[in-house]
Structure 1
Amino acid sequence: MPVSATKGLRVAVLADSDTRWKWGALTAKRTVSAESDIRLDGYLLRGRATPTPRQLREVGVHADSLREVTAVEFLRAMSEESYDVLVISLVGGGVQAMLHGLRRAWDGRTKRPVVVTGYVGVVYEKLADGLLLRHGADLVLANSRQDADRFRAVYEGVGADASSVTEVALPFLGGAAYEGEHGPYTVVFAAQPSVPENRKDRTYLLDRLVQHARLHPEREVLLKLRSRPGEHTTHLEELPYQKLAQRSDLPPNFRLVYGHMGEVLDHTDLLVTVSSTAALESLHRRIPTVVLTDLGVREVLGNHHFVGSGCLASWDQLDAGHRPVPDAEWVARQGVAAGGTSRTESGGGSYETAFDAARERIARLLATPQLPPLAPYYTTETAPGYLPGILARHHLGPDGTPLPGAPAADKEPGPVRQIVRRAARGAYRHGVQRVAPVIRRMGEL
């Protein structure tokens, strides 16, 4: 089946946070069809990071339908609905649970969707763990040639089928290439919810950003935040920068900003971060990009991923006017085609052609009369002490069937239930962002 024959398909995306909804929905649009004529149904897995309406608007990726579900509700929907492609955009444990649940839900069916999964951004930790939890999908997407090689090595190293690994690129890269300084010159620090984690390091970064604004009053200095107070994204944020900034005397050329990252990059002259995927978005557009070394180059920070990039620098260097020059070979290995036109190491094509292999593979699978049952590497034989716990977190038994008493509803929750649910989420977020830090400080006395 040619790539163009994948038009007019029904596609479902299951996501558990705003960033993973963005990745999943854009991955569906880029890998299922180069055109826009697909029906896209979104399912948001209910949990601590379920995106708010504001977060969904900020992501800016729309679906034909969108509803919040539990894992069991989703599996029921997949047993009743008929989709061509399913994109699972969850944490590794969630992916594994859904693969086993779907295998059970589709037992006996002659036709099932093509199942796609992958990673939202840079893979800098838990490589083997995360990959093996994603094994069993028809396509496990790698965002670069470097990742594809690493993924295959892990699967082959444990004797698992590596044919599902498919090289693509991050689906949210794009925008106009950087053409020169704006007025005023704008420095953007892309904050991360969990990197670094402790108050001392986060306060240090904020102080240095404010100091840079004072040293360069002619510049506009922006702190780009992922979520507003009370919201969660992919990772927990115990110490939001908004809270830390309340205690600072901020200069007039310093601002906190939210919104779509691409729109912020439209006016950025220098992007600074610890290890955010925003660095790859920035490099793609040829915007000068810095990955900070102030807190060390460490795996726990994720900035070790950028060794060899030419982007590593400190605030002292930036204060003195340093402008980084990225290493072209390193950028190419990351699946980043600067400006959207550079030729990549993976296939000599542009960014737009980076998804052709996935489209072709999906098209071939769709043309297959009957796909085999999903076959994850983890089973009750290969991981009897690990898999049952992963499935139980999503109220599934070891064979993928819903456990007795699993939360599931046949209809939308009523107003009272919705109010109680919002209150519970608010209490959880309050505990994470206010109570937990206090208890931790008390424990250090």
Structure 2
Amino acid sequence: MLADSDTRWKWGALTAHRLITGTSDSASDAGRGAREAELDGYLLRGRATPTVRQLAEVGVRARQLREVTGAEFVTAVDRDRYDVIVLSCVGGAVQAMLHGLARAWAGHARRPVVVTGYVGVVYEKLADGLLLRHGADVVLANSRHDADRFRDVYTGVGASPESVVECALPFLGGAPYDERARRTRRYPGGTVVFAVQPSVPDNRADRTYLLRRAVEHARKNPDREVLVKLRSKPGEHTTHIEELPYQKLVAKLEGGTPENFRLAYGNMGEVLDTTDLLVTVSSTAALESLHRGIPTAVLTDLGIREVLGNHHFLGSGCLASWDELDAGYLPEPDPGWVARQGVAVGDAYRTAFDAARARVAALAAADRLPPPAPYYTPTTAPGYLPRILGRYGFQPDGTPRPGAAPDAAAAGGLRRVVRNTMREAARGAYRHGVQRVAPVIRRMGEL
């Protein structure tokens, strides 16, 4: 499994497990060999490569873990060793790997099944992201709504939609919400969790506003605990760049914070175990919360706008403002909307991956699989594809650029140490520029 960020590692690793081992009560899983459940992890080197802490927080272990470039991944993948390859990356990276693997596997009848998909809610760049993923054997859609849209896009450009398979988010789960449990806690009014996002909203004023409203909610409700669930620590990167971490914003709030307010890290599933109201702008955490039956609010304070992603929740029954929440309002989700969006409440989740698992098993058992055939080729996208491939170390024909995939011997000893040191220094400089220098330059430009 190849991933390029902490959230995509979570999605990819859990998806791999669900596709191979299934659920504990699935009869089709009986007698499957131990080798089939083994996971080898590859982390695509880049600005969002997860740290050890971020990987541990996800809670998914791999038999081995290796950081690679795109060209190194294609070179390292042994087509005879693996049954399934999950590409859990941004669209451009998926497209580059598909071309690289197609070139590497040309002329071979047997190869792994290639699976890809999306980490969560698909609310922007639908056509762009989907066409960059075309060429995988299986493109997973997290809901019936997404599956219909995905097939329409592929059909609309004359590409085969057969790869699209409906499933659900692999990290849904946990105990159903029990409202009685909050009465036994330190704060009998319950725990309100504000699940923040690295890039939504993307400016200091809006992020400070949302943070201030969360603090005010804590002050107005002393019998409630208010948690701000953070995605990363300062200096770490997630799927999206976080220029204005909430940890820094909270330190500048006038009047400080009350005792019943705090910042929180950790696995989202564990946080939801003691959540009585989940508040967010458009985080996928809302779907996790709805799956458990936890009251869930999608904020409208900053408007309902595509750039925020909360337009995805139109018709959900979850839209609300901090003013309404301050007044005691608890949104009630629309069952029809929840069903269409793949939340899979109750027993439906047990079978959500059956179709995908069956498709992967059938492909893996085939005597021959043709090389991946993406829609984008030098003929269909001559002004776009070479840039995508070049970004990940490939030439227009899918072969690694000279020097992009050094052999193991060349990467050994002192050279490897120096290269790793330089890489960490470059990452540190990049993060410093994003989180400190860039905001200062923008402020100076506004003078």
In the other structure, the counterpart of 1:8 is none
1:210 alignment partner, one of 210, 215, 225: 215
3-state SS of paired residue (2:145): helix
What do the CA deviations read for 1:32-89 (whole angstroms, capped 9, x no partner)? 2325931110000011000000000000011111111111110101257621100000
1:317 aligns with 2:324: yes
1:187 aligns with 2:185: no
- Write the distance in 2 (CA, Å) between the matches of 1:101 and 1:415: 27
Answer yes or no: is the 8 Å Cα contact 2:144–2:340 preserved in 1.
Answer: yes
What do the CA deviations read for 1:243-276 (whole angstroms, capped 9, x no partner)? 1011121111110000000000000000000000
What letter is aligned with 1:213? Answer: A
Answer yes or no: is the 8 Å Cα contact 1:92–1:131 preserved in 2.
Answer: yes
1:395 aligns with 2:400: no
What letter is aligned with 1:437? Answer: P
In the other structure, the counterpart of 1:57 is 56
- Write the distance in 1 (CA, Å) between the matches of 2:318 and 2:166: 24
In the other structure, the counterpart of 2:237 is 232
Answer yes or no: is the 8 Å Cα contact 1:78–1:105 preserved in 2.
Answer: no
Written as runs of structure 1 = structure 2, the 5 A alignment for 1:310-389 is: 310-338=317-345, 340-341=346-347, 350-389=348-387
In the other structure, the counterpart of 1:155 is 154
Answer yes or no: is the 8 Å Cα contact 2:79–2:112 preserved in 1.
Answer: no
1:286 aligns with 2:304: no
Answer yes or no: is the 8 Å Cα contact 1:79–1:106 preserved in 2.
Answer: no
What do the CA deviations read for 1:278-311 (whole angstroms, capped 9, x no partner)? 0000000000000000000000000000000000
Written as runs of structure 1 = structure 2, the 5 A alignment for 1:26-425 is: 26-34=14-22, 37=34, 38-79=37-78, 82-181=81-180, 182=182, 183=185, 184=187, 185-248=190-253, 249-338=256-345, 340-341=346-347, 350-406=348-404, 408-410=406-408, 411=411, 414-425=416-427
What letter is aligned with 2:217? Answer: H
Answer yes or no: is the 8 Å Cα contact 2:344–2:352 preserved in 1.
Answer: no
- Write the distance in 1 (CA, Å) between the matches of 2:54 and 2:391: 26
Does the C-alpha gap of structure 1 residues 123 and 80 become closer, same or farther in structure 2, counting only changes over 3 Å? closer
Does the C-alpha gap of structure 1 residues 332 and 219 become closer, same or farther in structure 2, counting only changes over 3 Å? same
2:438 alignment partner, one of 410, 430, 436: 436
Provide TM-score, normalisation by structure 2. 0.93
3-state SS of paired residue (1:256): strand
- Write the distance in 1 (CA, Å) between the matches of 2:418 and 2:77: 28
Provide TM-score, normalisation by structure 1. 0.93
- Write the distance in 2 (CA, Å) between the matches of 1:309 and 1:117: 27
In the other structure, the counterpart of 1:346 is none
Mind listing any 5+ residue stretches in structure 2 that lack a counterpart? Answer: 23-28
Mind listing any 5+ residue stretches in structure 1 that lack a counterpart? Answer: 1-12, 342-349
Q: Give the share of equivalent positions with the same residue, in percent.
A: 72
Shift of 1:418: 2.3
What letter is aligned with 2:77? Answer: M
